[in-house]
Structure formats: C-alpha cells, structure tokens
A and B are shown apart, each in its own frame.
Chain A
Amino acid sequence: MKVRFKENRRLYIGLIITGLMLILAITGKFFTPYDPNAMDSANKLAGISAKHIMGCDNFGRDIFSRILAGLDTTMVVAVGTVLIGVTFGTVIGALTGYYGGRPDEIMMRFNDAVLAFPSLLLALVIISIMGSGKMNVTIALGILFIPGYARIVRGEFLKCRNLDYVQSARLMGASYLRIMFVHILPNTIPVLLSTVAIGFNNAVLAEAGMSFLGIGVQPPDSSLGRMLSESQSYLFLRPGYALCTGSVIALLIFGFAMLNEGLEKHA
C-alpha cells in the first residue's frame, strides 16, 4: 500500500522520528563516543563543550554516551515488553474470541481484574517478587500488557468469526487453528499495528517511570528514566542534563504517538 506524504503526514513524521531513534539506539549498542560508565572526576558536571556535546553528569560521565546507551536499554525493554504482550495477548484473545462461551467469560473476568489494578502497583508487586533488573522489568511490564492486547484481539475475532469468508474457510475444511491464525489473524493486523505503536509508547513511559522510582533498571546500566531521576538534584545547577534526557524521552514518545495516529487512519 502506497501512502503519500500529503495524505498522511503523521505517519511519515512518526516513521522518521522513530527511525532516527532506532538508529541512535542501535549505534548506542556498538559505539558511544566515551564509555558510558567511565567516571572522570575532572569533568564533574562539566558544561557543554566540543568534547562533551551534552556535558557530563555528577560522576563526570559523558551524558551523550549515556543517552545513547540508555536509549538502547529503553528500546530493548520496550520491544521485549510489547513482544511478550502481543504474543500472549494475541493467542489468548484469538482463542477466547473465536470459541466464546464459558472459557471466554472466565478469561475476560480475569483480564478485568488485572486491568483494575494500577499498572505501576502491579509491576511493583512483580518486581518485589522477582527482583529488579532489565530482564525482570521487561517480564513484569510484558505481563501487564497482555490483558490489553488480549481484549483488542478478542474484539476483532468476535467481529470476524461469523463473517462469510470465515464460514467459507470452515466449509473448505480448514481446521480451527488454521482459520484462527491464517484466515482471521491477518485481518486484525491493521488494528493491532496501531495499538502496538501506542504500546511502545506506554512501555517506554512505564520503564522510565519505574527507573525514575528506582525499581527499574539498576546502576551502572543507564536508562533514560534513571538519568532523569539522577539529574533532578542538579536541575538548577545543570539544567542541560535534565533537558537533554527529558527531550529524548519526549521525542521518542512523540514519534510513537505520531506513528500510532498515522496507522489508525488506515486501520
């Protein structure tokens, strides 16, 4: 499907910003100007200079390098979260939506129960059971994302399961699983895609929020949320630290939000 820039500006803006962020994150994985964890007491809270384009933090670590590395961490957590949420959410949503009946009722009430809790609180509970760290944050957030996706996929399956083309697939002798995942699932992709974009958004924010509170990614790993929380103490001394970190998060979120709106137009 070809979409012109004029028809859907948001999609293009979202794609460009997200693409840029993705490139930066991948760069951060393999190359940073300085070692993001190398401390340098001579450059404590150094200002912006040609050597350190965003200055240095309270340990003399290069902020730009840490943002690159943090972007990588944040992206990995976001992608992992959405992947867990979408995979399990789709399977649960497909099965409950297609079969309906009592298992569907039970599963959806369970879903409602999970959705009723504030997500950060539930993440806290899971983290306190499993311990913090990049991996556990991803798993905890992933579990929290499952009900939302399950609900969306279920709705789409409910809509599709009695349509003529599904009937005709059934009549061709296709098995339940084939009907669900080969015939119906591709039809849910437009809706799923835009919610995935907004899911990245929520994942980035949730990870930043958790790291900000100190229960997310643990030092010395850098993460955008963690850096924002560290920069808090030097807000008036070095506003550049908080501004740079904060605007990268804002830009990341903006990119995903634009992508979501652009995709929704075609859903």
Chain B
Amino acid sequence: MLDVIDLNIEFHDHITPETVVYDFDLHLDEGEIVGIVGESGSGKSMSALAIAGLLSRKKMKKRGQILFDGVDLLTCSRDTLRKYQGNDICMVFQEPMTSLNPVKRIGWQVGESLRLHTELSEDEIRNKVIKMLEDVELQDPESIYDKYPHELSGGMRQRVMIAAALICNPKVLIADEPTTALDVTVQAQIIKLLKKINKKTGTAILFISHDLSVVRKLCSRVLVMYKGRVVETGEVNEVFDFPKEEYTKRLIAAIPRMEKLEYE
C-alpha cells in the first residue's frame, strides 16, 4: 500500500546543501505496524514528515519516490496531496501540549478532518466525533467535546490527537514518538490503545521511537536508522535477538537493565 523507494532528503536553506536522509526504503502493508528506531538526529522524524507531505517543497530537495496506492506523493499536485492528507495518511506528534490549537474546542479540532474531506452536516460530525472520543477511551466524551486543550492532561490530549487522526478512518497512521512526553503508566495505556485500534480498524501504523522496548512490544517489523541511513531491517524478534550490524548491537546493549544495575 505504502512504498517508499530510495528517498533522499536534502536541506537547501543553508549555503551548502546538507543531506539528512540517504536511500530510505520502506514498505508498509495494510494493517501492519512497523517501527523506526534510532538516536536523535538519525533522520527518522524527517522520513516520517516527508511521507506525511509536511516538508517544504522549496527548501528541501527530495529524490526518490513515495508511492501511496501507486500515486507518487512527492510529485503529485498540492490538491491531490491534500486529498490524501487527513483522509488516508494521518500523524500524531510527540508533544501533546502543543499539537492542539489552544483557542479551539476539542470537538471542533477532532472534527476538522471530516469538515475538510466529507460533506457531513455539523450534527453528523458531532455524533461521529463523540463516538470517536469514546473509542479512544476518553471518559465523558460529551463534556470533553466542549472543553479547551488546557483543561485536559497530557495523556488525554494525546488520546484526543489520536482521535483527530483516526476520525476519517485513515489507512496509515504515522506516530512520531507519541509516548515520549508522557509518563510510563500513560505510555503503556497509549500503546495498548494503538494496538487495539490497529486490530479493530486495520489502520497501518508507522511507529517512530527511540524506546526499543516499546517498539519490541508493539511492532512486527523494525527499521534501525543511523546518521540518515537505514542500517538494518527485519522482523522485530530477529533484529533484537540476532542483530547483524555493529550499531544495532550497541543500541540494544544500551537499554538499561535492572539486573545489571543491582550488581554494580
């Protein structure tokens, strides 16, 4: 369904062009959960933003292809791209505190995709939004509909973001470190929720994280990125148990372990 072939991303807003992603390849099937791991600055977020079509077309040169159902998102017209954005491809950002518009009500923000992509009336949108808020396991969706973002906690906002992303039944959900800014218990709930939604609606998830244990729990396949290149890719268990590349081995060795700490 989603195929990224030889994607290169180059920054052109400085005097010398700078390449941040080299030959990125990705294949995503329907209903699949694929993880991208790597340290900060390894290009994982950049690749995700490119797939979502959020990178400036002028300041960043991109080579390669991003094929979504056969349409190249890099070269298609703005209008075509907009038709896919929000409707088929959605994204949840890392920081739930800033990813909601502070002056708009929750219900309005969640329903925005429906307003842009469907011809539903305001009443129908309201019903759908409340149903969606219920699906992401928010309590009392009726009252949350009329609330402003500052009245919700971080975990609730991230659920709202997920609801806003999924309202149009997208085929791909890009989650860019959706749990990094949350505490551990909320993290676990959000991961569980994503897994449940994936099973229920068949939405494929591209999960970006530097938390290897989360990726291991959630994903079926994983890509390891380092300095803008994909260094290793494969089934999660294979990559984690029998890493081939030196960098992957070091990355896995860097996971803090309880036993080790106790001996020291």
Tell me if A165 and B52 are in contact (CB < 8 A). no
Q: In the complex, A170 Cα to B57 Cα: how many Å? A: 14
Q: Is B71 an interface residue (CB 8 A)?
A: no
Tell me if B95 and A173 are in contact (CB < 8 A). no
Q: Contacts A167-B93, A168-B91, A173-B86 given; indicate if A187 touches B101 (C-beta within 8 A).
A: yes
Tell me if B99 and A168 are in contact (CB < 8 A). yes
**Nearest chain B CB to A165's CB is how many angstroms away?**
4
Q: Is A247 an interface residue (CB 8 A)?
A: no
Tell me if A169 and B52 are in contact (CB < 8 A). no
Q: Is A183 an interface residue (CB 8 A)?
A: yes
Q: Mark B143-187, 1 if CB is under 8 A from A, else 0.
A: 000000000000000000100100000000000000000000000
Select one of A171, A178, A186, A187 contacting B54, CB under 8 A: A171
Q: In the complex, A165 Cα to B87 Cα: how many Å? A: 17
Q: In the complex, A169 Cα to B101 Cα: how many Å? A: 9
Interface stretch (choices B25-33, B109-117, B251-259) = B109-117
Q: In the complex, A153 Cα to B87 Cα: how many Å? A: 31
Chain B residues 51-83 with CB under 8 Å of chain A are 52-54, 82-83
Q: Which B-chain residue is minimally distant from A168 (CB atoms)? A: B99
Return chain B residues, CB-CB under 8 Å to A121: none
Q: Mark A159-188, 1 if CB is under 8 A from B, else 0.
A: 000011101111111110010000100110
Chain B residues 102-133 with CB under 8 Å of chain A are 102-104, 112-113, 116-117
Select one of B86, B100, B102, B104 contacting A171, CB under 8 A: B86
Q: In the complex, A96 Cα to B86 Cα: how many Å? A: 26
Select one of A164, A168, A174, A186 contacting B116, CB under 8 A: A174
Q: Is A23 an interface residue (CB 8 A)?
A: no
Return chain B residues, CB-CB under 8 Å to A167: 54, 93, 99
Tell me if A189 and B103 are in contact (CB < 8 A). yes
**Nearest chain A CB to B192's CB is how many angstroms away?**
23
Q: Is B42 an interface residue (CB 8 A)?
A: no
Q: Contacts A172-B112, A173-B113, A186-B103 given; indicate if A164 touches B98 (C-beta within 8 A).
A: yes
Select one of B52, B89, B95 contacting A164, CB under 8 A: B95
Q: Which A-chain residue is minimally distant from B91 (CB atoms)? A: A171
Chain A residues 126-176 with CB under 8 Å of chain B are 163-165, 167-175
Tell me if A173 and B82 are in contact (CB < 8 A). yes
A-B contacts, CB under 8 A, total: 61
Q: In the complex, A171 Cα to B95 Cα: how many Å? A: 16
Tell me if A173 and B87 are in contact (CB < 8 A). yes
Return chain B residues, CB-CB under 8 Å to A186: 101, 103-104
**Nearest chain A CB to B19's CB is how many angstroms away?**
22
Tell me if B85 and A173 are in contact (CB < 8 A). yes
Tell me if A173 and B102 are in contact (CB < 8 A). no
Return chain A residues, CB-CB under 8 Å to B98: 163-165
Q: Contacts A164-B95, A167-B54 given; indicate if A172 touches B101 (C-beta within 8 A).
A: no
Q: In the complex, A187 Cα to B91 Cα: how many Å? A: 22
Select one of B53, B90, B112 contacting A169, CB under 8 A: B112
Q: In the complex, A163 Cα to B100 Cα: how many Å? A: 9
Q: In the complex, A152 Cα to B248 Cα: how many Å? A: 49
Q: Which B-chain residue is minimally distant from A163 (CB atoms)? A: B98
Q: Mark A173-207, 1 if CB is under 8 A from B, else 0.
A: 11100100001001101000000000000000000
Select one of B82, B90, B113, B161 contacting A175, CB under 8 A: B82
Q: Contacts A170-B54, A171-B52, A174-B112 given; indicate if A165 touches B86 (C-beta within 8 A).
A: no
Tell me if A173 and B99 are in contact (CB < 8 A). no
Return chain A residues, CB-CB under 8 Å to B83: 173
The 4 lowest CB-CB distance pairs between A and B, nearest first, are: A172-B86, A164-B99, A173-B86, A173-B85
A-binding residues in B (CB < 8 A)? 52-54, 82-87, 89-91, 93, 95, 98-104, 112-113, 116-117, 161, 164
* 24 A-B contacts (beta carbon < 8 Å): A164-B98, A164-B99, A165-B98, A167-B99, A169-B112, A171-B52, A171-B85, A171-B86, A171-B91, A172-B85, A172-B86, A172-B112, A173-B85, A173-B86, A173-B87, A173-B113, A174-B82, A174-B112, A174-B116, A175-B82, A178-B116, A183-B104, A186-B103, A187-B101
